[in-house]
Structure 1
Amino acid sequence: MFKVIQRCVGPASLSLLTFRVYAAPKKDSTHKNYMKVDELSLYSVPEGQSKYVEEPRTQLEENISQLHHHCEPYTSWCQEIYSQTKPKVDRFVQWGLDNYEYLQNAPPGFFPRLGVIGFAGFIGLLFARGQRGEVI
């Protein structure tokens, strides 16, 4: 196990080191050997003739294109419904967040009044259960 760790840590620690490399021209070289940046192949564009040739579509690409063409009305309908529904959902979520914050910081006496009103409504439902709603 130690040998495995040693073999992994060695190269990994060397990658963290930084070295500076300085290049100096030879004493007997002349300026004729120097190249400009434009002359380097890395920076130059090859002077070859290039022509764009579009490959023919395969059967799979044709089938996917047809499927996309047939599904386009449905996807546009879904996008339209989404764009109409999203603002309503956002308003509903904001309404829920506002009510949650109100209930977290309710004014004094709010919950007892809410309990009395809710209890009275529940009792009213129990008493009204046997009635048919006939008017005399």
Structure 2
Amino acid sequence: MPGIFSMLQTTVLAATDGDQEPTPLINRDELSLYTVPRQAAQYTEPEAGELEQSVANLRKLVEPYTAWCQVTYDKVKPALQTVVDLGHDTYAYSKGHPKDFYPRAVVVGLAGVLGLYHARGSTIKKLIYPTGLMALCASLYYPKEAAAVAKSTGECAYDCAVQSYVAVEKILKP
């Protein structure tokens, strides 16, 4: 129906300017009823003030550093999440610890002190003896956990050894 009405000619009574004769029949599309006269006013962007210019300059200066911080954060985020999860797990374990947890912790700590006592002199001994004695005591009290840690440590050590071998092989071969 709208298509048919657009083809029909209709009589329109309109005011004319001065001496013009009225046009007898015109199409609806020829009417200037919906045209908007051009306006002389145009929108102009206000000039930036001193504060806005200072903020824009500051943003341009800081942009490389913020990009670097974002990239660094994206790299470090998984490690941070692992540390946070470990902290939550440790807190949950310490809240619901077994009844003989504290005596075992004391024995493991004393093994570390004994290791420090026997490691007089060498720095390497000071690293190996306390750690080894504490790991030995802890593995006696917690054999399942010690087996899991030994397995994951062994896999990690194997991966590091393979990567080191490949790196040395690349260096030595021309």
TM-score, length-normalised on structure 1?
0.48
Q: Which has the higher contact order (CA 8 A, sep 6+)?
A: 2
Larger Rg: 2
TM-score, length-normalised on structure 2?
0.40
Structure with bigger helix share is: 2
